[in-house]
Amino acid sequence: MTEDYERWSYNTAVAACMEFVNQLYRYVQGDQPPRQATVDFALDQLLLLMAPMTPHVTAELWARRHDGDHIHERPWPVADPALAALETVTMVVQVNGKVRDRIEVPAATTDDEAVAMALASAKVQAFLAGAEPKKVIPRAPKLVNVVV
């Protein structure tokens, strides 16, 4: 969201807030009971992130949660990139431009590894029917396009 604010892209900042709230709902309504400290931390971070867009509402909500403290005197939250890094991504495999499979792969997958995984897929093998692909266009780790 920091980047969204710096680019004056408030619409994407609002979308990020909604995504954050949806993730928080999933956590709270999950199979395991939520930890109150985690929920409190998440709510405080959400209020801090929303404060530039909704200063009066967030100030009121912050004051109700934290006696005597003012939200606009708090430091801006800083994300830890290591925690935000994705471990896996969904790689789409296309045959002749049509999606034929989706494979979970490590985020650090190289083009060669992506091609090998795509060609090893049973769904892709069914469309190849034993034929060799004319061209394979990898865009690891997100996409591999096989042309027959």
59-116 confidence digits (pLDDT tens): 999 999 998 789 999 999 988 888 777 788 999 999 999 999 999 999 899 999 999 9
pLDDT tens, 46-69? 999 999 999 999 999 999 999 878
Q: Where are the beta strands (DSSP E) in the chain?
A: 88-95, 98-106, 135-139, 143-147
Range of the domain at 76: 2-84
Residue type, 142: K
CB atoms within 10 A of CB 94: 18
Same domain, 57 and 25: yes
CB atoms within 10 A of CB 53: 14
Q: How many domains does the chain have?
A: 2
Give 123's Cβ-side CA count (13 Å radius). 13
Question: Which CATH number goes with the domain that contains 10?
Answer: 1.10.730.10
Same domain, 47 and 61: yes
Entry pTM: 0.60
Same domain, 99 and 31: no
